[in-house]
Structure 1
């Protein structure tokens, strides 16, 4: 018998994974077909540093290892943006009773074109590399779409 899961912490990261030519990786949720998004995930502990949440979530959801020779840690950038949004009712059961909002911190991750992606099948069923404008249009979450639309500005700052 499985032990009950601890409630999710209402603080998360959103990682816009992109190539130098601004193609964006989107992944389709297994629990919501047609819901395309960037890598997202909640902190595992209140004191978990956000960059470690990014490293863990990117590895879990895509198999991309931040800190490897192909994707140095320097390629992960904190965009200094945070979105506070209402948690969709369909997912509120994952949080402590009464929690209705989440704070999402936005990061960018530049990866080489053609990098291998290995999805976690319980979480995502498909992936696509799309030009940034198309990716923004496909995102189900308004905050995710807005983050993707910010990509050219943040990518230029790190070039």
Structure 2
């Protein structure tokens, strides 16, 4: 096995002068590929707006609505075809002069409350809004009950010895000191 190691070491040392050049080129190539991959994934919509207020409304709406396919992305960042359709629909509805609430209501009617990142508080979503606080409060109460019970057990355990046992214990302790 030693001749093989020697051959590998010799080959590596003969190539040592080429290694920095190849390493730099490889690093530059990997960096370029990573940069171009992130650019290629960006969602690009070329919409023209009549003013900046309408552009701001469009941006706000596309950030507020969730992509039905991606689920953890807003439709502004998603590359899914359905997200592109939703962006196009929002642009169309803005052009028709509909309000933000009308557009959101349309999307909720079509895709359900799930399409909103911040669902309204109603009978269907109260658990979503108050469930985490309820679980936290329940956990704190449970820990409190456990602590109180354990403290109560300790005080009860301190008076467990009878008079006879105390006398015997005192006798044993006195015996050990002698």
Q: Quick check: TM above 0.5?
A: no
Higher strand share: 1
Q: TM-score, normalised by structure 1?
A: 0.23
Q: TM-score, normalised by structure 2?
A: 0.21
Pick 1 or 2: higher relative contact order, CA cutoff 8 A, min separation 6: 1
